[in-house]
Amino acid sequence: MPVWHAACGSSSTTEKDYNMSSLLGMLGRLTDPRSPQGKRHELVCTVACAVVAVLAGACNYREIGSQAADLPQSLLARLGARWNWFRLRYDWPSEPTLRRVLQGIDAHKLDLLIGSWLFERAHRDTDGALVIALDGKVLRGAWTDANDKVTLFSAMIHHKGVTVAQVRVPDGTNEITQVENLLDGIEVAETTPVILTLDAAHTQRATAEYTKGVRGYDYVMTVKGNQPTLQKEVFARCLPLLATEPEHVVEERDHGRIKRWSTWTADATGIDFPYAARIACIRRDVFGLDESATSKEFALIITSRPAELTGAADLHTYVREHWGIENKSHYVRDTTWREDHNQAYTGNGPHTMAALRNLAVGLLRLGGLHKIKEATETICRDRTRALPLLAT
């Protein structure tokens, strides 16, 4: 069954059955950067047209403008387009209008609105701990005035693959300094336990102090050579464990290989790192189908989660799923929307476009569509197919 029909079921539902007021209301909280004089298209309609265009696979301003010009009249009406009494039709925003708006709007506020809106829908039916991956992404085709590349730092809910927060890293610094700003955009109920997974760049004392000590969020961090003393302590504690049977083993066969993950854990008492409760060593062995060894690598992990709440199997899952932010977010944006080839750099354009792509990915995943490229191609053939997603 085609990807769209498999997720959305019967196609007999009419356009009138879809209520987009929530999404349009969220976009309506943005401030219009344009002068009221000569303004023909409302901000909500303009940005909503861009959202539909991105859902249809538009990668840049020109493609967004072409998609907007090709939107059905019925969809333009639902998006709040202006009625043209001379031509007896709904008008659509032109490519120059879309470009000016996307470059001029407050991209940080747009990210906050999109993240909060997606978080509410991605987490409303979830029980238990909320596990969030934090990671940065460099937009390789977008340069700043400081002759540096635009870098964004984002947070994605594990398993669901929905990005719920994103901030732009200021020029002259790096994502390590932006953990507090990023987490400020995520509002979690006090009764919900939160676990943050971070790569080795964020294995910093200040980050551990803030996430656990200030926010009360547990962390799961990878330990590498950027923290040599900590790496030596964790490795010395884990080394004797490797002579024993692992606490957890997972084996998978794919792509002509056999991959086996073995996990050992130990108490972190005596290790000098804020709020450290447990450490772990995960060994990944790769074999050929004839079971000949191909490669072996080790990952050292430190976490504030106590043993009674998180076992070896849980730590293995957290570490494996952390890289979902690369596969389910960054890789998808690069392959579906060619983000790294996009050379938009004026104003807030690069940040705004990335926010719209996050929204598109979130809408598709919440709609049960996980083959993102195929889904955008399906919507491109009939833009009204975006309606069930806009009514999420």
* Per-run averaged pLDDT (10 residues), the chain, 392 residues: 48 66 96 90 96 96 96 95 94 96 96 96 77 90 69 93 94 91 91 93 96 96 96 95 94 87 95 96 90 89 94 94 88 91 81 96 95 96 95 85
In terms of DSSP bridges, do strands 89-90 and 83-84 run parallel, antiparallel, or are they unpaired? antiparallel
Instruction: Please indicate, yes or no, if residue 118 is contained in any of the structural domains.
Output: no
The two tokens of residue 103 are: 């470059």
Pair (41, 85) in one structural domain: yes
Q: Select from 146, 53, 136, 135 the least CA-distant residue to 97.
A: 53
Which of 264, 288, 310 represents a domain boundary (last residue)? 310
In terms of DSSP bridges, do strands 278-288 and 257-267 run parallel, antiparallel, or are they unpaired? antiparallel
Which of 283, 310, 337 represents a domain boundary (last residue)? 310
Instruction: Please indicate, yes or no, if residue 181 is contained in any of the structural domains.
Output: no
pLDDT for position 190: 84
pLDDT for position 13: 46
Counted domains in the chain: 2
In this prediction the pTM is 0.91
DSSP line for 117-141:
HHHHHHHTT--S-EEEEEEEEEEEE
Pair (260, 367) in one structural domain: no
What residue numbers bound the domain in which 304 lies?
193-310
pLDDT for position 145: 63
pLDDT for position 150: 85
Instruction: Please indicate, yes or no, if residue 122 is contained in any of the structural domains.
Output: no
CA–CA dist 57, 376 (Å, integer) = 5
Instruction: Please indicate, yes or no, if residue 331 is contained in any of the structural domains.
Output: no
pLDDT for position 324: 82
Which of 264, 283, 310 represents a domain boundary (last residue)? 310
Pair (376, 304) in one structural domain: no
Pair (203, 305) in one structural domain: yes
pLDDT for position 224: 95
Pair (213, 302) in one structural domain: yes
Instruction: Please indicate, yes or no, if residue 40 is contained in any of the structural domains.
Output: yes
Instruction: Please indicate, yes or no, if residue 218 is contained in any of the structural domains.
Output: yes
Instruction: Please indicate, yes or no, if residue 25 is contained in any of the structural domains.
Output: yes
